[in-house]
Amino acid sequence: MAAPAGSRLLDLWTVLTLAALAVLAIFVLWPLANVFTASFYGEFSRSFGLENYATFFGSGYFRRALWHSLFTSAMGTLLALALGLPLAVIAARYDFRGKATLRVLVLLSLISPPFIGAYAWIMLLGRQGLVTQALAEIGIALPTIYGAPGIILVTALNLYPLVFLLVHGALLRIDRSLEEASLGLGRTRFQTFRSITLPLTLPAMATGALLVFLGVLSDFGTPALLGENYPVLATLAFTLFLSEIGGNPAMASTTSVVLVTVALVLILLQRWVASRRNYASDAINRPEILRMTGWQLLIFPAFAWGLMAIANLPLAIIVYTSFLETSGPVFLQSFSLDSYRQVFHLVRGAIVNSFAFSGMALALIVVVGSVVGYIISRRDTTLTRVLDTALMIPYVIPGTVLGIGFITAFNQPPIWITGTVAIIVAAYFIRRLPYMVRACASYVYQIDRSVEEASINLGAPPARTFMKIMLPLMAPGILAGAVLAWVEVINELSATVVLYTGTTSTMPIATYSQVLAGSYGPAAAVASLLILATTLSLVLFTVIGGSDRELTV
């Protein structure tokens, strides 16, 4: 039998699928394989075996780092749940003023990178922190923010929106009739909430919790700034790698593999939970909005706005202090633009780099992501399923590990790009490509297949159909993916910190090194610029995309 009808159509998409797989193989699998292999070459013996893993699990130092990672991730997740769940219930179910503002504030605390939060909390509660010193004057000593408590606090305040967004969405998708049926059968409102509403949001809750856990686990900036003598896997891998560079990256690789393994177990767990319990239904009748009564009138708004204030306090503090005159880590009482002058003088390159690298990466992400998002949601073949699964990997790999992998893989021919702009852009591209793919795919799923077939039927070849019909209909998904990717890329620290050289520094790197150097003024100024770039894109998104769209991961 001859080739299938429309074989050229199949060929186009097959070629693109293979190309995407090749890109993932080069920029994800190859670096990871390098790290993986390196972890089996003994630190001292240089022979193949489990020597490094014996070292890792035999040493209290390494075991402690693993425990620290698990502990802060678990506690951060619990705290994020404790904050995100009640907020989701209040916002989804109660007649509550200022919901639109609330949503923007929640998103703002999600999209501002954790290292900025960490830095702000140091300014507030650190050794020379404003609050610490104010309280010290009246004789109150605060518990330390360095180490586990700070990491847990900062990451939870940064990541609770994941729980909020997912559970809030799930609560709104529960059809009103389900709860009314329960009430009609004689259950009280509270019993109904416990026996109907809560179980129905369980999958969303589990997904949110696992995403938070994964977020804390892979975070580099927060433990790097707040950790001090409290190493976690992400910071440990980085420190080991820096000290081992040029030699044998054995223990850094081993630490990376342990970190990736933990992350992988979690993501598989999340997929399993999601596939097992999925009550997805589109609510025909949105749930009833309840009136707050009695104590609720006081407690609910206080909780919601209190949380908003605390979670977004870091942003306010940073922008405020960026306009203060400083002397090293000490802020003086007068306003000045000195910090900005210093920044534009000292790290102008970093600012230009940030926008240039992020712009280049974003262009790649938009082009490749929209095509791949279309392919995995429309063409159901073995190849596209492999591609879909492979795209989970860059999502799970902590930036530090990817950075280490990139350096080990690309510091020799055939791809020798260590220290160049290309390696940073490639890292940004591959790390955030999944965001765009997911965002586009979720829109493609909503577009009826027959719309596309109608266009082909009317004579437009597949590629033209994609351009004329699919791209315009996917536009909101592309916009959502692009905003999310942009915000993540311009704030990227954990991979950049491994990959950058003197000439390829970025704004997050500048912030990070200024904080470490104790130059709090310039640090605040660069961080403010980052916050501005981030906030502007969120505003742009809200204006273009309409306020009803949800930023989800």
Partner 1 sequence: MAAIGISGLVKRFGAVTAIEALDLNVGAGEFFTLLGPSGCGKTTLLRIIAGFERQNAGDLHVAGRLANDIPAHRRDMGMVFQNYAIFPHMSVFDNVAYGLTQRKFKQREIEAKVSRALELVRLEGYGRRFPDQLSGGQKQRVVLARALVIEPQVLLMDEPLSALDAKVRVGLRRDIRLVQQQLGITTLYVTHDQEEALVVSDRIMVMEAGEIRQLGSPREVYEDPANLFVATFIGTSNLLGGRVDRSAGGSVVLAQGARLDLPDLQAADGTELRLALRPEHLTVLDDGPVAGGLVVLEGVVELVSYLGSQSRIAVRIPGVAEVVEVEAPSAAPASASPPGRAVRLGFRPESAFLFAAANGERVR
Decide if residue 455 touches partner 1 (CB under 8 A): yes
**Of 7-15, 27-35, 77-85, 245-253, which part binds partner 1 (CB under 8 A)?**
7-15
Show the tokens assigned to 180.
Answer: 């009314």
Closest CA to 362 of 472, 489, 532: 489
| 284 touching partner 1, by CB under 8 A | no
Q: Which member of 273, 473, 545, 553 binds partner 1 (CB under 8 A)?
A: 473
Paired residues of 416 in beta bridges:
411
Shortest reach from residue 453's CB to partner 1, in Å: 6
- Distance, in Å, from the CA atom of 462 to the CA atom of 444, rounded to the nearest integer, reads 15
Q: Which of 352, 451, 467, 544 binds partner 1 (CB under 8 A)?
A: 451
Q: Is residue 448 a contact point for partner 1 (CB under 8 A)?
A: yes
Q: Which is nearer to partner 1, 57 or 445 (CB)?
A: 445
Helices 198-218 + 250-276 axis angle, to 10: 170
> With binding defined as CB under 8 A, does residue 457 bind partner 1?
yes
Spatial CA neighbour of 488 closest among 14, 44, 4, 112: 112
Choose one: 22-30, 39-47, 289-297, 458-466; the region binding partner 1 (CB under 8 A): 458-466
Which residues does residue 142 pair with via DSSP β-bridges, in sequence order? none
Q: Does 3 bind partner 1 (CB under 8 A)?
A: yes
**Two structure tokens written together for 266:** 């979690």
Q: Which residue has the tokens 């010290």?
A: 136
Contact string (CB under 8 A) for partner 1, positions 186-225, x = contact: ----------------------------------------
Instruction: Decide if residue 460 touches partner 1 (CB under 8 A).
Output: yes
Rounded distance, CA 45 to CA 56, Å? 15
Question: Smallest Cα–Cα separation from 411: which of 31, 23, 29, 37?
Answer: 31
Contact between 454 and partner 1 (CB under 8 A)? yes
Taking the least distance from each CB to partner 1, the nearer of 294 and 459 is 459
Tell me whether residue 261 or residue 381 sits nearer to partner 1 (CB atom): 381
CB of 365 to partner 1, least distance (A): 23
**Cβ partners under 8 Å of residue 224, min gap 6:** 115, 235, 238, 497, 512
Query: Segment contacting partner 1 (CB under 8 A): 41-49, 104-112, 211-219, 447-455?
Result: 447-455
Distance CA 217, CA 108 (A): 21
Q: Please report whether residue 12 would count as binding partner 1 according to CB under 8 A.
A: no
Among 294, 458, 502, 543, binds partner 1 (CB under 8 A): 458
Residue in the block written with tokens 């959502």: 480
Non-local (6+) Cβ contacts of 472 within 8 A are none
In the complex, the residues that contact partner 1 under the rule CB under 8 A are 1-9, 448, 450-451, 453-462, 464-465, 469, 472-473
